[in-house]
Each structure stands twice: as C-alpha cells, then as structure tokens.
Amino acid sequence: MTLPEQEPLQLLAQPSYEAGEPERVYVAMANGEWHGNHLDPKTPEDSGEALAIVADAAQDTVAELLWQAWPLCAEHNLGMHTRDVEGLLSWWCSGRRPGEGSGHIRAAVGALGSF
C-alpha cells in the first residue's frame, strides 16, 4: 500500500510476548512503526474480508502516526472507507456528485493508483 510522499506500508511480523504463541502481524510504516491491534491469525476464508481487515489496519496506522486520513478521494478531498460492492472491496467516498445521491465508489481496493 502506498501513501503520497511516504514509503510503502508493510506487513510486519513481531514475536509474541507469550511463549508458544504465533508471531503477531501488523500493518506498519516503512520505518517499522505501527499503531493498533495485530491482525488476527485466524484469517477469514473470504479473501475480501481479509483484505478489508488489512485496509482498516492500514488506515488506523496512518491516522494515528501521521495524523491524516487516508486514502483521500481526489474529487472531494475526503477520507474514504471500505465497502463491499457486489463482492468487490472498494473505496467509498461520502462526497456528493451533482445529480447523484450521497456517496460514490472511487476505486477497488488496490486499484487507487490507476486513477
């Protein structure tokens, strides 16, 4: 995952504090800092749900460490959130477009760079 003017985010495995427990994986900045809970080792069987968990963890890390919303809708400059749209995890913006209802889909998660 990338942020403007930042190195890409990364998945970072850290040893558990408890003996016999698996490593804990976090979404971290390029320098290794992270914020929030580790990703649950019981990965959902649904890949869309797993992607949503990682996207949400990335947003938590960015919000707490950089004090900014991410990703931003280029059209409205508002922070976006994930939303399932017919089985495709997408970035949703609450901004209005002329002649349309509230909110719109900006891009599929993982495809923001193409816009």
- The β-bridge relationship of strands 81-85 and 10-14 is unpaired
Is pTM beyond 0.85 here?
no
113 with 2: CB under 8 angstroms?
yes
Instruction: Tabulate helix, strand, coil % of the chain (nearest 5).
Output: 20, 30, 50
| pLDDT for the residue 112 | 77
Domain coordinates of the chain in residue numbers?
A: 1-68, 71-115
Closest CA relative to residue 70, chosen from 55, 86, 84 = 55
| pLDDT for the residue 2 | 59
**pLDDT digit string (tens) for the chain, length 115 residues:** 557 788 999 999 998 888 888 889 999 999 999 998 888 877 677 777 888 889 999 999 999 999 999 999 988 999 999 999 888 999 999 998 777 778 898 889 988 765 4
Q: Give me 14's structure tokens.
A: 């850290």
